[in-house]
Chain A
Amino acid sequence: MPKPFTPKVITANALLEGDVIYLADNGWTRQLAQAEVLTDEAHADLRMIEAAAQTDAVVGVYLADVALEGDTPVPTHFREDFRARGPSNYAHGKQEQF
């Protein structure tokens, strides 16, 4: 039996800055909390095709697992947690804006 589809977001790096970005309803966002949460596999496939086609703006598009806290997506794996926040030795990256 295929595994049930778990909630995901589409993520990549911005071509110019290299920043971690997430696909939102209208374009890309730098905040995971604003990402579009994908709960339907067919819809996720479609959004992946749309996202991956934007080769002039983004690099390395993939689906990342998330859990939902209320409606807000949060990372399930520590790698995605660091990507969403920044490195642990300096307050650089996204945490600079928090």
Chain B
Amino acid sequence: MYHYTDFDDAFLKERNAQFRAQVERRIDGSLTEDEFKPLRLMNGLYLQLHAYMLRVAIPYGTLNSRQMDTLAMIADKWDKGYGHFTTRQNIQYNWPELRDVPDMLDALAAVDMHAIQTSGNTIRNVTADHFAGAAADEVADPRPVAELIRQWSTDHPEFQFLPRKFKVAVTGAEADRAVIKAHDIGLRIVKRDDEIGYEVVIGGGLGRTPMIGKVLYDFVSAEDLLPTLEAIVSVYNLLGRRDNKYKARIKITVHENGIEDIRARVDARYALIRDQFTGIDQQMLARIESDFAQPSFRKADVTPYHNTYQHDPLFRSWADTNLADHRNPDYAIVSISLKAHGKTPGDATSRQMRLMAQIAKRYGHDELRISHEQNVILPHVHKGDLPSVYYALKAEGLGTANIGLISDIIACPGMDYCALATARSIPIAQEIATRFDALKLEHEVGPLKIKISGCINACGHHHVGHIGILGLDRAGVENYQITLGGDGTEDATIGERAGPGFSAEEIIPAVERIVLAYLDLRNDPAEEFLQTYRRLGLAPFKAALYPEAAQKVRENAA
């Protein structure tokens, strides 16, 4: 993985020293809150409902054991012994005190980590496929180019005050595990006549006005990528609306001006700036690529895996749901579920973090990934080690066999923590998971993605959930709207709103009615929820959700 250079170290040290001085000046009264707020946001520090929150970037979701150990240490020393992994491959600490934050940032810098541009109207943490470098279906590892984009965008002088925040995601595979079509810029590595290049998608986004990204270019060569990105963000920086916060994202710029107009502007800008990119970026990329060399996979006996698979049904269930195909047939990609039934989605205690670090070091070529689905990935585990890994994880509450199932829920922090939220998300996720665990139905139901947001900003990706839940404040009461049929993959689709919302008490039975209707409606157990939905549409699910309305329709027809 990427190791900071002397330049990176010096930059971060200076930046942290600046922020330390800014915090001191805020505390001694030299800076007002209005002056301090943009400075703290640029360094990832929010003031939330009950406390400050520090959002730390995990670039393209990649960590080593030393970094994970440091995240655990920070949780113990300056927070309440846990951290929350987010849908943008960040970790959030919910309880830091202002005076401690500079020390936290120094501790992060010691392991090549930072919180820069995890907030504010800047280019945010660049995210990537969490199976990067390991997936069997990959054209190329997206992380080197993601790292190049991180370096290009960090402290980029032209892009520190964009109209609004700007999110970039990269995938190296046909299967989109990075939700690239719901990003301001989505990049997919493609191959044309043996040349590696990039499909560039722009103008995707969720939030108040959800939009699926549009293809701006179907092939951009490697050396043209940064100038193209610079041209896109530059056009957006000038054209994007600054009069209305809700119309300021590039999705609205694309929508209002049309993709052809944007393409013409980007082409013109590109022609103007192309000469400034002399090829140094490609030399840097080559150096970065060498940092991401594939680990030396070992040859060993895989029999322990097959034996345990045969004899331990719990291991078998976990292996069936939590493992994915690795490009090396003797290896597997392990998804560690941070969704134990009844627990907070995406939270890990410091003990759990340390255990995952230890396992990664011992069995996983020292690599860990954070997924946008709020789980932790061990990308390279030899199959012979899987039983040892599973039993170690299970002992610390990390052995839940539910990846991709109904209890593997994405949930934003919601009104339990977030100052912007209009309703809670976490308790709804906890109750749905607990309920379906009690029903013992989730393995029979099969793949089903529930995503919950506690406000219209859609951090919980509810628009692209197979079942999406949006928490709102309706006349001073929490109310939950359901959308159905959303999809965050390469077939990205925005879910359809099912109808009137439900109270906090009603929402769990409502979800249960949808799932039971699916079990009745599916052709056979191989037809997944989303396939059934696409075959039949909203109507039969709506009838199950609103039985009284359906009854009235029947009576009127009679």
Contacts and interface: CB of A to CB of B under 8 A. Distances in A.
Contacts of A59: 33, 47
B49 A19 contact: no
B476 A93 contact: no
Interface SS, A side: loop
B415 interface: yes
A82 B476 contact: no
B430 A93 contact: no
B48 interface: yes
A13 interface: yes
A80 to B, nearest CB: 10
A7 interface: no
A13 to B, nearest CB: 6
Nearest to A81: B415
A88 B426 CA distance: 8
B427 to A, nearest CB: 5
Interface stretch (B4-12, B92-100, B302-310): B92-100
B368 to A, nearest CB: 24
B50 interface: yes
B430 A89 contact: yes
Contact of B47 (A13, A82, A90): A13
Contacts of A55: 29, 32-33
A82 B418 CA distance: 11
A16 B476 contact: no
B99 A19 contact: no
A87 B477 CA distance: 17
Interface stretch (A33-41, A42-50, A71-79): A71-79
Nearest to B423: A78
Contact of B29 (A56, A87, A92, A93): A56
Interface residues of B, number: 32
A20 to B, nearest CB: 6
Contacts of B417: 87
B208 interface: no
B112 interface: no
A60 B50 contact: no
Contacts of A82: 49-50, 415-416, 424
Given A13-B47, A60-B47, A89-B426, A79 B95 contact: no
Contacts of B96: 18
Contacts, number: 77
Contact of B415 (A19, A76, A78): A78
A68 interface: no
Contacts of B335: none
A87 B476 contact: no
A92 B52 CA distance: 14
B48 A18 contact: yes
Contacts of B32: 55
Given A59-B47, A78-B477, A18 B97 contact: yes
B416 A89 contact: yes
Contacts of A89: 344, 347, 416, 426-427, 430
Interface in B462-483: 473, 476-478
Interface centre among B33, B50, B96 (most CB of A within 10 A): B50
A15 B27 CA distance: 8
Contacts of A94: 50
B538 interface: no
B15 interface: no
A86 B50 CA distance: 7
A69 interface: no
A79 B415 contact: yes
B51 to A, nearest CB: 4
B33 A18 contact: no
A59 B415 CA distance: 19
Given A17-B98, A18-B47, A92 B415 contact: no
A43 B101 CA distance: 37
A90 B51 CA distance: 14
B394 interface: no
B80 interface: yes
Interface string B80-110: 1000000000000011111100000000000
B242 to A, nearest CB: 24
A55 B98 CA distance: 15
A52 to B, nearest CB: 10
A77 B97 contact: no
Interface in A1-42: 13, 15-20
Interface string B423-434: 010110010000
Given A16-B27, A17-B98, A92 B80 contact: yes
A77 B32 CA distance: 30
A71 B80 CA distance: 34
27 contacts: A13-B47, A15-B26, A15-B27, A15-B33, A15-B98, A16-B27, A17-B97, A18-B47, A18-B98, A19-B51, A55-B33, A56-B29, A59-B33, A76-B476, A82-B50, A83-B50, A86-B50, A87-B94, A87-B416, A87-B426, A88-B416, A88-B427, A89-B344, A90-B344, A93-B50, A93-B51, A94-B50
Given A56-B28, A79-B473, A90-B344, 11 more contacts: A13-B51, A15-B27, A18-B51, A18-B52, A19-B51, A20-B50, A76-B476, A77-B476, A82-B415, A88-B426, A89-B416
